[in-house]
Amino acid sequence: MLRVFQGILIGLCLLLTACSGSDSGQTAGTTTGTSQQTFKWKMVTTWPANYPVFQEAAEKFAADIKIMSQGRLDIHVYAGGELVPPLQVFDAVSQGTVEMGHGSPYYWAGKVPEAQFFSSVPFGMTAKGMNAWIYHGGGLELWKEVYAPFNVIPMPMGNTGVQMGGWFNKKIDSLEDIKGLRMRIPGLGGKVFKRAGGNPVLLPGSEVYTALERGTIDATEWVAPFHDMRLGLNRAAKYYYFPGWHEPGTVFELMVNSQAWAELPDDLQLMVETTAAAVSEWIYAQMEFNNHVALQELRSKQNIEILEFPPEVLAELKRLTKVTLDDEASNDAKFKRVYDAYTAFSESYKDWSKTSDEAYQRALGE
């Protein structure tokens, strides 16, 4: 009985507080009234429905925010193709058809070539360097400038970690073995591969397994052991090469339509930014965890050889990466601006990276 009475008292207090809050909000005409507003938003992603880690992360982001905002920011997440095709996510956010999107900046290379630097660059920085640049080295400011003409506000939300070099049906002992090789490898990596004499092929993820299994392509990259095994690639090729020189730590992005963003009260904006950073870490940790387990599983399979690219092949691909980027920059001032900023940061970061992580890896001697 006493508990019931206490409950009623608390209930009354809450009611009074809520009323007084609402009153003061109305008289002041400021944020208190506004902050009670409920926002029903849509988020579209570039990932297939139920896709492990990636689509899961977008759904976790929405679910966490709904709890933290007590339902004031209610985001419905649509997988790629459910509301808009995966490669139209940027346009949908830009045009305000939806308020949010989740993907990776290099998907928009056709429209915004310089966006690729915020994703991953062949022989570029890994997750640690990218985080340092984006959050504290001027990267995010530059990224926002790049997207501003499209009414899109970006923020990082995920990193794949270092990817694998890919699945091959033929051994790569020298550069000669790359000549004429048909490989599914998109983006800047594909351009470098072409300069090395390879034949890059564009294929959506859904067609990769069949193409490799039937010999339509000789090789493919995808992500890393966990996602590659989910696609069945270990049943379609014999050689699994590392490292993923073309994608050393691909950044995922949360995109927000700028008008929609401006309508959010400060506390919900902060909730979005904080949750995006938390989900970013969640994805990175998931990738490192799942890939280490999947690699162990692959090691136990007799029919697969896990091999490192020969040093001279990597050295030549690295040289050709600079040629490719310089060439792109010479034709595109916007590309050059971001390329210069990226290079300046990665050059300045290199000394610390070598002195800390790389030296430590050598000290481990494993």
Residues in touch with Ca ion (CB under 5 A): 163, 221, 247
Q: How far is the CB of 71 from Ca ion (least distance, A)?
A: 37
Question: 165 and 243 in contact (C-beta within 8 Å)?
Answer: yes
Is the Cβ–Cβ distance between 80 and 86 less than 8 Å?
A: yes
Return the amino acid letter for 136: H
Distance of closest approach, residue 324 Cβ to Ca ion, in angstroms:
17
Q: Cβ 218 to Ca ion, closest distance in Å?
A: 17
Give me the residue whose beta carbon is nearest to Ca ion. Answer: 247
Q: How far is the CB of 123 from Ca ion (least distance, A)?
A: 15
Q: Closer to Ca ion at the Cβ: 68 or 87?
A: 87
Contact predicate 206/189, CB 8 Å: no
Beta carbon of residue 138, minimum distance to Ca ion (angstroms, whole number) = 26
Pairing of strands 251-257, 152-159: antiparallel
Instruction: HSE, CB side, 13 Å, CA atoms: give it for residue 235.
Output: 6
Nearer to Ca ion, 99 or 247 (CB): 247
Residue 109, burial from CB neighbour count under 10 angstroms (0-12, 13-18, 19+): middle
| Dihedral pair phi/psi, residue 157, rounded to 5° | -150, 70
- For Ca ion, the closer CB: 223 or 254: 223
Q: Is the peptide bond before 243 cis (omega within 30 degrees of 0)?
A: yes
Q: For the CB of residue 187, give the shortest distance to Ca ion in the complex, in Å.
A: 8
Q: Which long-range contacts (CB under 8 A, 24 or more apart) does 2-7 make?
A: none
- Closer residue to Ca ion in complex, CB, 98/172: 172
Q: Which is nearer to Ca ion, 99 or 221 (CB)?
A: 221
User: How does DSSP classify residue 48?
Assistant: P
Nearer residue to Ca ion within complex by CB, 163 or 290: 163
